[in-house]
Amino acid sequence: MSAAHPFVPRVAAAATAATAFAPAGADELERASLQRRFDRKYLLRADGAASLLHAIAGEYRVVLARRERFALYDTTYFDTPSLRCYHDHRRGRRPRAKVRVRNYIDRELSMLEFKQKTARGDTRKLRWERPALTSALTDEDVARLVAVCPDLFEEGPLVAQARTVFHRLMLLNTRTVERATLDFGLALERGDARCAVDALVVVEVKDAGRGAPSPLIAALRREDARMLPFSKYCMAIACLGHERANAFRPSLRALEGGL
């Protein structure tokens, strides 16, 4: 772990445990590329992450970000002035959309990302590379979004509504197309308000929806991780804004109590 990736003491053991994972090869990355996928999200106590990683080290490979196992992500989320994307999620509407600019700091890569939860419940994701590590939407970004979802612009231009920063460990199952991410040290920001979520790890397990056995999910259950709907964007708005958030109460209570 380089000095560019500071971790609080409770996560240092997880950083050490992550060194047991062999790096993923290009063929494994290609096999696990899921632009249409089914997701399950879990909240895990950060002090349980090391034992979880030790339990599954032989079953997964780690995706490196320029030789680092933990990659720094800096994401800005865009929504309509009335927060349509947030409220669609809160109300459980489908299809619904999410728009973000995600900067992959270690890789010096910036991507415009459009995610859509479809009527059948899977996730469709479109990504476009951007020329610089900036967070504001460019004219080219806007044109791409208008082409795929013009109704998002009925109120006018999209507005930057929230920001998240975290370190991500990405794992690939060696036997199936399952891919998983573990996000550490999550920080939520909206305007001048900020909330640190360093007592929890956000785990997302992604697969093609075929029900293959998952060593990671089995290990999460042994660690008493909680499977909860969890959107970083919605948590930022719910925690730091003044919007209705009843649908997110279980996740908010988990954040407040550290599980």
Q: For the ranges 35-49, 71-85, 151-165, which has the lowest average pLDDT? A: 35-49
Above 50 in pLDDT, residue 3?
no
On whether the CB atoms of residues 236 and 77 are closer than 8 A, the answer is yes
Residue 23: DSSP 8-state: B
**Helix 49-56 × helix 9-17 angle, to 10°:** 0
Does residue 10 form part of some domain? Answer: no
| Residue 245 to residue 243: CA distance in whole angstroms | 6
pLDDT number for residue 34: 55
Sign of CA dihedral 159, 240, 200, 134: positive
| Residue 54 to residue 223: CA distance in whole angstroms | 12
pLDDT number for residue 78: 98
What count of Cα atoms within 13 Å lies in the side-chain half-sphere of residue 2?
11
Q: Which domain holds residue 52?
A: 28-257
pLDDT number for residue 4: 42
| Residue 59 to residue 17: CA distance in whole angstroms | 14
Q: H-helix or E-strand containing 49?
A: helix 49-56
Buried b (16+ CB within 10 A) or exposed e, 101-134: bbbbbbeeebbbebbbbeeeeebeebeeebeeee
Token reading at 147: 């082409």
Does residue 6 form part of some domain? Answer: no
Per-residue pLDDT of 229-243, as tens digits, reads 899 999 999 999 889
On whether the CB atoms of residues 194 and 85 are closer than 8 A, the answer is no
Token reading at 208: 């093609």
Above 70 in pLDDT, residue 94?
yes
pLDDT number for residue 38: 78
Q: What type of residue sits at position 188? A: L
Those residues with Cβ within 8 angstroms of residue 197's Cβ, 6 or more apart along the chain or in another chain: 185, 186, 187, 188, 235, 255
Burial class (CB in 10 A: 0-12, 13-18, 19+), 236: buried
Does residue 15 form part of some domain? Answer: no
pLDDT number for residue 99: 98
Per-residue pLDDT of 96-143, as tens digits, reads 999 999 999 999 999 999 999 888 877 788 999 999 999 999 999 999
Does residue 123 form part of some domain? Answer: yes
Does residue 227 form part of some domain? Answer: yes
Q: Once rounded to an integer, what is the mean pLDDT over residues 14-34?
A: 86
Q: What is the CATH number of the domain that holds 156?
A: 3.20.100.30
Q: Once rounded to an integer, what is the mean pLDDT over residues 6-16?
A: 73
Percent over 90 (pLDDT), the chain? 75
Name which of 215, 203, 208 is nearest 177 in CA terms.
Answer: 208
Above 50 in pLDDT, residue 15?
yes
pLDDT number for residue 2: 36
Q: Once rounded to an integer, what is the mean pLDDT over residues 78-85?
A: 97
Does residue 73 form part of some domain? Answer: yes
| Residue 132 to residue 110: CA distance in whole angstroms | 6
Q: Once rounded to an integer, what is the mean pLDDT over residues 58-86?
A: 95
Return the higher-pLDDT residue of 256 and 149. Answer: 149
Residue 5 pLDDT level (bands cut at 50, 70, 90)? very low
Does residue 5 form part of some domain? Answer: no
pLDDT number for residue 211: 67
- Report angle CA 213, 214, 220 to the nearest 5 degrees: 135
Does residue 18 form part of some domain? Answer: no
Q: What is the average pLDDT score of the chain?
A: 90
Give the start-end residues of each E strand in 118-158: 123-130
Q: Once rounded to an integer, what is the mean pLDDT over residues 13-19?
A: 93
User: What's the domain count of the chain?
Assistant: 1
Above 50 in pLDDT, residue 197?
yes
